[in-house]
Structure formats: C-alpha cells, structure tokens
A and B are shown apart, each in its own frame.
Chain A
Amino acid sequence: MINQLSWKVGGQQGEGIESTGEIFSIALNRLGYYLYGYRHFSSRIKGGHTNNKIRVSTTQVRSISDDLDILVAFDQETIDLNYKELHDKGVIIADAKFSPIKSEDTEAKMYAVPFTDLATELGTSLMKNMVAVGATCAVLNLDISVFEEVVQEIFGKKGQQVVDKNMEAVKAGFDFMKENLGDTAELMELEKADGKQRLFMIGNDAIALGALAGGCRFMAAYPITPASEIMEYLIAKLPPLGGAVIQTEDEIAAVTMAIGANYGGVRALTASAGPGLSLKMEAIGLSGITETPLVIVDTQRGGPSTGMPTKQEQSDLMAMIYGTHGEIPKIVLAPSTVQEAFYDTAEAFNLAEEYQCPVIVLSDLQLSLGKQTVEPLEFDQIEIRRGKLLTGELPEVENKGYFKRYEVTEDGISPRVIPGMKNGIHHVTGVEHDETGKPSESAANRKAQMDKRFRKIENIKFNTPVYKNAPHEESDILIVGFNSTRGAIEEAVGRLEKDGLKVNHAQVRLIHPFPTEELLPLVKSAKKIVVVENNATGQLANIMKMNVGHAEKIQKLLKYDGNPFLPQEIYTNCKELF
C-alpha cells in the first residue's frame, strides 16, 4: 500500500491530454484524495508535447513530486522526454499503436496497451484517453465505478449512448491491464482516502471566486496567459449578478476602465501577466495619486518581453513594488496557496477601499494554473469593508466650494464620495492637487499631500502578512519564499527535519509594505537563511536584505529555467549548507 503517487499523462497538444488528466483527477478528488496537477504546455494550440502531471495523496500536497510512478504515453516523444523521472519501480503505460520503445537505462516496467485499437473497436479512437484512464485504475487497483459519475457529467449532454461507450472504454482498458499486469499491482495499490468532499481548483478560479465574494462587480481585461481564466470565469458569473466584464482593446484600456469604474463607485478588477502589467504602470500611478481604489492581479510568467509565456517564474516582484514613475503608496499581496488566493483577493477589495490605493494581488503561473485540492472555503470569513466611503447625506457646500476629497488627516486617509452624490463635487486629477482636488504646485501643499498619501500605508492591517511554520526558537535554517514555492518548501522542510535539522519556514504574503517586524525575530534566530525564488537575481532576498538586514546570513536559491522547484532541489541545497 502506498499513500501517495505521481501520475503523468503525455502526448501531442490538442489530443485530449488535458481531459484525460481532468477526468482522472476529478474522480480521485471525489474519493477524498488530495491532488496536485501541473501542466506542461507550449504557446501553441495544436501539436507539440504536452503533459499533465498529477500527484495523488492521502494528505495535502502542493508541489510537483521529484519522481514519477506512472507515465501514460500517447506517443514515443512522451516516453523519451519523461522516462527519466520514473523511479526503478515505475510503470509506463503506452499506446500499443505506436510500438513504444523504452530506453535501456530505466528499470521501469512498460506495458503496451492498445488504447487506440480498443477505443476504435468501441466506436471511435477519440475514447483512447478513457481506455488509458481504465488501464491506470487497474494498476492502482481502483474500482472503475468512481468514473461513472464523472463520465455522466462530462458526456451526459451527448446522450446516454456516448456515456455508456465511454464507460465501456474505461472498462476495456481496465480489463486489458488486469490481465497483463503481473506482480506490479501490489506495489501501486493506493491507501483508501477519507472520502471527504473538497474542492479542486486552479489559483485563477480562486482569484475570480474571491473577487466575486469580495464584491467585485466589474472587470476590464485583455486576454493573456496565464491570467485569462480569471476573466473567463467572471464573464460567466458576473452577469447573473448584474455585473459586467469588458474585454478591452488593450491593457491600458483595461486598467484605466477599471480605475474609471472604481472612481464611479463599483468594485472593479483588472488582471494580467507581466507584459500587461508593464503597460498598466502609468495608470497605476494615476490610481496612486488620485487615491482611487484599484485591484490588479498579476499572474507572473517567464519574462522579460514575451519571455516564456507558459512557464513558471517569479520575476515581477520588484516591478510590482516599485513600478510606475514617481512614488505612490501601494499594497502587494502574494498568496501562496489556492485558499489564500481566494481570501486574499476578496480582502484586496477591502484594502483598496480602506487605504484608497492600488492593491496588486501577485500570483505566479504555478499557483494560477496548478490545480489543487482545497479545503472548503469559509464564506463567513469574507467581510465587506469600505473604509471612509461616505454614503449618507453630505452637508451643504457654500459658494461652489469643493468637497475636501483629499483632506489632510492624521491617518492620511481622506473621506471619499462617489460621483452622483449631492454636495460631494470635487476634482480628481493626476496633477498634484490640494485638498479639494484642484491642481497646486505649492511646495507646502506638495509635501502635505505626499506625506498624507504615504501615511496611509504606515500601519496596514493585513491578517497574516507572513505564513509561518516556525516551531524552533533557534533554527539552523530559515527558509523563505513567496507564492507557489510553498508546497516544495514544505516537503523539503519535512525531510530536513527528519535528518535532524531545525528548520523554520516563512512564506511572505504581504510583500509590500514589507512585514519587517513579523520576519525579524525569525531572521535573528536563524543560523542560516535560504530564500527560495523562481528568478535569476534573487528579488525577494534583496528586498529582505534591504528591509530586515542580516545580509551575511541570507543565501539565494534561484531557479529560472521555466520549471517550478522540486522538493529535492531545496532539500539538497539546504543539506549542503551543513
């Protein structure tokens, strides 16, 4: 019996690889297993190798595994590119149609299963992925009835006959594999899961759902990988709430339209990836100086320029903190799990209105597109707080005096009204302005307004600025990361602890303003600090050195080849320090 395994299905893009993985994982999720799926794909629609690696476990997993138990191959390229990941007792299940060949330098067993032929016999070769699912079940000794419900849901619209045929295909694969399996079966039998119903979603789903729950009723966006799912989800879900999504002509229109809508009084969102964020920068400054709430999602991918659009990277950090010319108050959040992506996005709308500034929800490709099992989301944790937005009647203004929208206050936050309110007229401009919004170049006013704006974020209240798993008062190593590296770090920590090292882990969730006070005790009490990040220059490490100090202790563990960290890489790196 095993309590976790790693399964990968690969073939040509556009061949149904994704749906094979989807059906497999939805069914296992319903049995109560924890899943983690990560797709390898390219910037093209048809053709090119693609694969979907899915981890199945009886406990929470948030990382790709170091090795592979089962490889399902629809073509020879899949075997050639991926067999090295298989451990000695791994299994290759390949379509007999292409006469699969296994390299001699692997001990893994290979089974040629006639995916295509069995499917064709049943009516259409399209069902070869269902045959592959069935064959996998035989290796895991899973009852194929778990797929009945899923197949019904996916193919039900096409009629009962299609449903039946697909189930027959699953059974055909299962039966064939059972007969030919030999002694492998015992090795791969999965421990039973707890049967609890949990969610299975990508980070972008959670971001979009979090936006809805957080009161977002308008979105303006431009399609881009890996952010588009957020827009697509809201296109489906906003209209039933009376809201709308506009697919704009470009990224600049998207962000400025969102600014217009927020100024107009609606919670509005825009989302993009690095190239889009570069285009939005001037407007982010407008939001900053006009103190217009704005929530922007940045799903980081390989940069710069077009870079590696379908690959993991965390290289937008500095740009998100400092981007836009001039200086503005800004909040940057970096959820590290799908759950956090939900709660943080909802909270971003509160922060944007409370602090009247742009709030960037930073994600990365692995978090945005990696599909993971999520514990039930607690709706009653979601609050709607609108800060100093005035809603009642306003006092009469005399002599066409303007409402003091930019009143200099102790906490820097000024009362806010939205257009349409009687007695609330004021001017809003990206030009430096006085308390009523009228342009002013006076030195005293400039200083007063700049100071006021920056006072706003001196005491940001954010629930968990740093996720900490820090059981040790004095640690050998403190590992620090942000966004999706959390899963790989957690597994590495487990292994290092087993080896007797004292390891604390901190995942920074509030990137800016930097939570120095939260981190400092952990930094001080660590012998060594390893900052793990998917970029080439160590941006988080540099920000830590700048804010927290202790530069001599801080080491960078960097990966910028487009792939997420594996637990083993972090483990090995930390081990080498001792």
Chain B
Amino acid sequence: MATFKDFRNNVKPNWCPGCGDFSVQAAIQRAAANVGLEPDNLAVISGIGCSGRISGYINSYGLHGIHGRSLPIAQGVKMANRDLTVIASGGDGDGFAIGMGHTIHAIRRNVNITYIVMDNQIYGLTKGQTSPRSAAGFKTKSTPEGSVEQAIAPMEMALTAGATFVAQSFSTDLKDLTALIEEGIKHDGFSLINVFSPCVTYNKVNTYDWFKENLTKLSDIEGYDSSNRAMAMQTLMKHNGLVTGLIYQDTERKSYQELLKGYSETPLTQADLKLDQTYFDKLVEEFM
C-alpha cells in the first residue's frame, strides 16, 4: 500500500519559503495515502497561479490547465474514468474570479470530485493585486486607495448553490486539513474545501498570526451540526466566514454520475468504440 512518501515526486516547488501551499501539498499527499489510493489512481487538475503549480508537485497523474478552468477539466476527467480519484485545485483568483462561473455550476452539478482552493486573498504570481477574496479597504498594487469592492463569501455562496460538502481549513492545521481532504475524497459528490493559505510575500494583512487570532474551529462550537444547512449559514455569517472544519455535508443527495440515466457503471475509457452493425443500422433507419 502506498504511503504519503509515494505521492512525493522529485520536483522542487517554486513557491516562496513559508508559503501556505506547502502544507496543502503535504495534506493532499497524506490524505491520498490515508484513503488507500495508489499514485496512478489519482489525477490532480490545477489552474493557473502560484497554487496552480501543485499538480506538478505530487507524484500522480496531473494536468495544469488554463486559468480558471480546472473544474471543467476535472469534471471531464472524472466523466471519462469514474474509477479515478480526481482532485481539482487552484487559488482564490482561479476559483472565485475568472473561474467563478465554473465553481457555482460544479457545485450544483455535484460530480464526484474534490476541489481544494488555496485562498490567500491576493494575486501572488502577478505580484500583488487584489483578489475577489480581498477585504474591502485592502490596499494592493491594483487598489492603491484600498479595495472598494465587497469580498466574496465562498462558503455561504456554496451553500446557496446547493453544495453537498463544504469545508474550510487553515494550512498550518495539517492534521485537520488532511482529515477534511480524506472526507472530501470519500464524499459521494462534489466537495469544496477552502484553505486559508497565507501569502508571505504580498499579503501583509492576512498573515499566519492574523488567522490564528481570527479563526474559530467549528469543533469548538458547542452543538454545531454539519448536517444543518441553516445553522451552517448562520454560523458563517456570525463569524464573518472565519471558521474551520466541516461546515456542511449532505449525505442524502446522490452524485451527478449516480443520477445520470444510462451513464456507464464501468469507466467510459473501457467502452467499446466500435458500434454494433445492427445498432448502427437501427440508427440509420430513423432517417429513412
């Protein structure tokens, strides 16, 4: 059986020392091993940006696509081969700016994949511009007077879009994060995990210390029930979204693949590409 070391490759990440993404990478590798995957049964599909490089740093199949499109690519991979475990990942710009349309629709479509967002509230690779996750008033190169736009609340948004698995974590909480990714992989449907992953170079506000001060663990909230959508929404609003843990899970709703009529129970990659002559003749007759 594979261990987390088997999911390491010999590529050295080009992230800045201290970047939160290192822990996310480690958590994915641990979670993959913990749920019993082999490296060749995992496909990591990533977007563009610092965090998008993650698919190249994990010893598994991986595709580093175009900006904002990791989710449709990942859903396509999963539709092709339902036996593969598919993880999509990228940054907050990738998922909540250019790719927001896909995020909402992946949530409501509920294809059985896991989406891990490395949320640093800033654009790193383009050297420090505002992100849709930057708080109002946040000063960056592109918002020298402070952002006048409202930050997106991704967890609340996911709940209203009909998410069946919504979780949030902090990159330094390696144990909790690993456990959440394991749960996400096991969840039969689309799982969204937003991870606060500080940018040590460009974000001097939302730092490791800032998160430590401001985050509340859901496990510390007495009576919190992750199957209660209304409670999830209320808690998020009360804490301004700054909570970690499993926020909401719906174990009743079936995944897209389960609901789709006719969709093969075996991977489509194994489908016979040649049509049967009789079947073809039947199709042709319809045009006579």
Contact = CB atoms under 8 A, between A and B. Distances in A.
B64 A427 contact: yes
B72 A399 contact: no
Contacts of A253: 69, 71-72, 101-102, 105
Contacts of A418: 81, 269
Given A260-B75, A419-B61, A425-B59, A201 B287 contact: yes
B268 A218 contact: yes
Contact of A242 (B60, B61, B271, B281): B271
B2 to A, nearest CB: 12
A142 interface: no
A250 B102 CA distance: 8
Nearest to A200: B287
B117 interface: no
Contacts of B77: 260-261, 263-264, 419
B69 A420 contact: no
Contacts of B288: 29-30, 197-200
Interface stretch (A209-217, A476-484, A491-499, A535-543): A209-217
A420 B62 contact: no
A249 B76 contact: no
A428 B80 contact: no
B64 A430 contact: yes
A451 B184 CA distance: 42
Contact of A239 (B78, B104, B263): B263
B76 A438 contact: no
A217 B63 contact: no
B81 to A, nearest CB: 5
Interface stretch (B35-43, B134-142, B219-227, B231-239): B35-43
B284 A218 contact: no
Contacts of B93: none
The DSSP consensus for interface residues of chain A is: mixed
A260 B83 CA distance: 15
B263 A244 contact: yes
Interface string B250-288: 000000000011111011110101110100110110011
Nearest to A265: B269
A266 interface: yes
Contacts of A392: none
Contact of A213 (B45, B56, B280): B280
Nearest to A248: B72
B153 interface: no
Nearest to B274: A384
Interface in A195-228: 197-201, 205, 209, 212-215, 217-218, 220
A267 interface: yes
A425 B40 contact: yes
Contacts of A254: 72
A448 B257 CA distance: 41
A212 B73 contact: no
Interface string B2-22: 000000111100000000000
B151 interface: no
Nearest to A383: B274
Contact of A420 (B8, B79, B81, B109): B81
Interface residues of A, number: 73
B108 to A, nearest CB: 9
Contacts of A201: 287
Given A249-B102, A384-B273, A425 B61 contact: yes
Contact of A427 (B41, B62, B76): B62
Nearest to B9: A400
Contacts of A431: 64
A196 to B, nearest CB: 11
Given A242-B262, A376-B284, A220 B72 contact: yes
B268 A266 contact: yes
Interface of A: 29-30, 197-201, 205, 209, 212-215, 217-218, 220, 237-244, 246, 248-250, 252-254, 256-268, 282-283, 285-286, 290, 374, 376-377, 379, 384, 399-400, 402, 418-431, 438-439
Given A260-B63, A438-B11, A427 B55 contact: yes
Contact of B262 (A244, A256, A290): A244
Contacts of A257: 72-73, 75-76, 79
Contacts of B274: 215, 384
Contacts of A214: 273
A238 B101 contact: no
A237 B269 CA distance: 18
B287 A199 contact: yes
Most-contacted residue by chain A among B76, B77, B288 (CB, 10 A) = B76
B230 interface: no
B287 A419 contact: no
Contacts of A286: 65-66
B262 A238 contact: yes
Contact of A243 (B60, B78, B271): B271
A350 to B, nearest CB: 10
Contacts of A267: 273
A266 B271 contact: yes
Contact of B73 (A239, A240, A241, A260): A260
Contacts of A424: 40, 61
Contacts of A429: 55-56, 63-64
Contacts of B72: 220, 248, 252-254, 256-257, 260
Contacts of A212: 275, 283
Interface in B94-127: 101-102, 104-105, 109
A54 B9 CA distance: 64
A209 B283 contact: yes
B262 A266 contact: no
20 contacts: A197-B288, A199-B287, A209-B283, A215-B274, A239-B260, A241-B271, A242-B268, A243-B264, A244-B262, A244-B268, A246-B109, A264-B79, A265-B269, A266-B81, A268-B76, A290-B63, A377-B284, A400-B9, A420-B81, A430-B66
A246 B79 contact: yes
B74 interface: yes
Q: Which 3 A-B pairs have the closest CB atoms?
A: A260-B76, A239-B262, A264-B80
B76 A419 contact: no
A282 B64 CA distance: 14
Contacts of A266: 79-81, 268-269, 271
A237 B283 contact: yes
A37 to B, nearest CB: 13
A256 B105 CA distance: 14
Contacts of A427: 55-56, 62, 64
A221 B71 CA distance: 15
B84 interface: yes
B138 to A, nearest CB: 28
A260 B55 contact: no
A283 B281 CA distance: 36
Contacts of A261: 76-77, 79-80, 268
A215 B275 CA distance: 7
Nearest to B280: A379
A420 B40 contact: yes
A265 B10 contact: no
* Residue of A282, A384, A420, A431 ringed by the most chain B CB atoms within 10 A: A420
Of the listed residues A258, A285, A429, the one surrounded by the most CB atoms of chain B closer than 10 A to its CB is A429
A423 B39 CA distance: 9
B157 to A, nearest CB: 15
Nearest to A371: B287
A80 B76 CA distance: 51
Contacts of A258: 76
